[in-house]
């Protein structure tokens, strides 16, 4: 059984680089708290707190890189920044990737759209291949078993 797995590439790289930069900056600031005379008295607890805040901010940025998508001939398993969805292909009307949209989406039969944040326009050719693979899985999953490709039933 064919499985399509997609994660945003550019977004993950950007978030990782930004998280590292934030940790380095906050660590630098934490070290400077005791070595620079600011007129205030900072102790070890203050340094640890500043560094901890940097780690928390970096972790928050890494959450933006968590979208994933797995799809096979039975269903789609979607994890966006907030929320998860498991959808059978029978609930999906179409796989959409409209112009000027940052990511793809699936349109459901009840006219609801579920964003596929893992399939991002910024990833270029990878996105095109992923959308084509998803559309093929959708076609195979929703096509009647006795129908031949190319025939309208």
Position 150 in a domain: no
pLDDT at 153: 44
Q: Model's pTM, two decimal places?
A: 0.77
pLDDT in tens, 16-41: 999 999 999 999 998 888 776 667 77
pLDDT in tens, 81-140: 999 999 999 999 999 998 889 999 999 999 899 999 999 999 999 999 999 999 999 998
Range of the domain at 133: 68-142
Residue 13's CB is within 10 A of a number of other CB atoms, namely 11
Give every CB contact of residue 139 below 8 A, 6+ residues apart in sequence: none
Among 16, 43, 63, the domain boundary falls at 63
Same domain, 87 and 128: yes
Whose CA is closest to 19, among 57, 67, 68? 57
Domains: count for the chain: 2
Same domain, 109 and 57: no
Same domain, 46 and 29: yes
Q: What CA dihedral angle connects 128, 129, 130 and 132, to 10 degrees?
A: 90
pLDDT at 19: 97
């Amino acid at each position: 059984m064919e499985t399509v797995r997609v994660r945003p590439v550019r977004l993950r790289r950007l978030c990782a680089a930004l998280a590292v930069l934030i940790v380095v900056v906050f660590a630098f600031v934490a070290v400077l708290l005791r070595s620079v005379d600011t007129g205030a008295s900072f102790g070890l607890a203050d340094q640890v707190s500043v560094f901890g805040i940097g780690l928390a901010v970096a972790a928050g940025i890494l959450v933006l890189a968590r979208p994933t998508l797995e799809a096979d001939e039975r269903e789609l398993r979607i994890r966006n920044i907030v929320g998860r969805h498991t959808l059978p292909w029978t609930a999906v009307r179409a796989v959409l990737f409209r112009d000027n949209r940052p990511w793809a989406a699936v349109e459901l039969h009840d006219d609801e759209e579920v964003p596929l944040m893992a399939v991002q326009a910024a990833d270029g050719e990878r996105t095109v291949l992923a959308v084509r693979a998803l559309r093929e899985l959708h076609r195979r999953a929703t096509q009647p078993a006795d129908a031949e490709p190319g025939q309208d039933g």
